[in-house]
Amino acid sequence: MIKELWRRELRLDLLRADYHSPHKFTQTEWQDPRQPPALWYVVYRWLSAVLFFAVAVCSVLDAGRDGQDIGVRYVKWPIYLTNWGLACCCLQAALGAGIATSSLVQDRRQRRVSFWRCRQPYFRCSQVNVSCSTERENGPSSPAATQSLQAPALPLVHRLYWVLNTISVTVAIGITCTYWVAVYEPETHVLDALNILVHAANSALMIMDILLAAHPLRLLHAFWPLLFVTIYLSFSLVYFLAGGTDRMDRTCVYPVLDWAKPTRTTVVCVLGLSFVVAVHTAVWAMHLARRRIARSLREAKMAANKGQADKKDPAVQLDAMA
C-alpha cells in the first residue's frame, strides 16, 4: 500500500499545477463535495485573509515598538525571509477568499436562473426541461453534472492560489521552527505580541488551512517552496555583496546566514533546503490524513443513512419478521 502511494505521487505529470476538479479549491474537506462552498468556510477564508493582512500591517509598522527610525522599518522590511513568507500568506489568503466567494455567488445565481427556467412550459423548449430534470437530480452546480460533460481545466487564478498556498504552508512552518530554534536570542529579540504573531501565528493559520481545505497537496510540488527559498538565499548573497545591512546595521540579515563565512553558510543553506523538503513531506502526510478521515466519516454517514432507509422499507421489515 505504501509502495503504491509513492508510485502514484511520484509521477512526473504531477509536477504541473493542474487538477481535474476546480471546485475542490473552493470547498472544505468536511462538506458534501456535491454541494457549493459551505457558507462557514467562505467566512473562514475571509477571516484568515483579514488576520494575515492585519499581521502584515503590524509587522511593517513595528506596532508597539519604539526607538527606531520609521524609515528604516519600511526600507528594510523586505530583506527578511519571514516577511517574504508573510507576504505570500497574504496573497494566497486573498485569492482563496476570492475564489470561494465567487463560487458561492455563482452557484446561487445559477440556482435562481434554473428555478425560473424550470417554471417555463414544456412546449417552449424541450432542452430546458431536459436540463431542468438534470439539475433537479444533481443540482445546478453539481460537480458530477459538470464533469459528465468534460473535465474542466484548472483556471489560472486557481493555479496561482495553489502554488502560493503550497509555498506558504511549507515556508510558514519552516520559518517558525527555524526562528525559535536557530535565530531567536532573548538578548536581541523582544518576545512580544508582534513577534509571536509574525513567527508563530502564521504557521498556526496555515496548519488550520491544511486541516480544512479540500484541495490536494502534491508531494512533488515541494519544488515550489524550494524555489522560493532558493531565490531568497540568492537575494541574501547579492544583498551581502552589495554591502547591505540589517536593521541593527549588521552585515548579515540572519546570524546563521552570514556570507562572510561562506563555507558554514553554504552548509546551512543545504541543511535549510533539506529541512524544507522534510517540512513539505510532513504537511503532505497531514493532508493525506485529513482526506482519509473525511472519507471515512462520509462512508460511515452513508452507511448509517442506508441502514435507516432499509429499516423504513416495508419489504425489509417483512423479511425481518419472517
Please give the distance of CA 194 from its chain centroid, rounded to a whole number: 23
Measured at the alpha carbon of residue 173, what is the angle toward residues 157 and 265, in degrees to the nearest 5? 110
In this predicted structure, what is the pLDDT of residue 93?
Answer: 97
Q: What is the pLDDT of residues 40-49, one digit of tens each?
A: 999 999 999 9
Q: Which three cell numbers stand for residue 136?
A: 433537479
HSE of 232 in the Cβ direction (CA atoms, 13 Å)?
23
Q: Secondary structure of the chain: what % helix, strand, coil (to 5)?
A: 75, 0, 25
Contact by Cβ (8 Å): 55, 175:
no
**Percent of the chain at pLDDT exceeding 90:** 54
Give residue 311's pLDDT band: very low, low, confident or very high (50, 70, 90): low
How far apart CA 167 and CA 272 sit, in angstroms, is 15
Mean pLDDT to the nearest integer, 117-145: 48
> What is the b/e burial string over 113-127, where b = at least 16 CB atoms within 10 angstroms of the residue's CB?
ebeebeeeeeeeeee
Residues 6+ apart with CB under 8 A from 309: none
Tens digits of residue pLDDT in 241-285: 999 888 888 888 998 999 999 999 999 999 999 999 999 999 999
Higher pLDDT, 127 or 97: 97
Q: Could you give the CA distance from residue 313 to residue 321 in angstroms, rounded to a whole number? A: 13
The set of residues, in sequence order, having a beta carbon less than 8 Å from that of 305 and lying 6+ positions away, is none
Ranges 86-100, 128-142, 192-206: which has the least confidence: 128-142
Give the predicted TM-score (pTM) of the model.
Answer: 0.82
Long-range contacts of 148-154 (CB under 8 A, 24+ apart): 151/20, 152/20, 152/22, 153/18, 154/17, 154/18, 154/19, 154/22, 154/25
List 213's β-bridge partners, or say none: 28
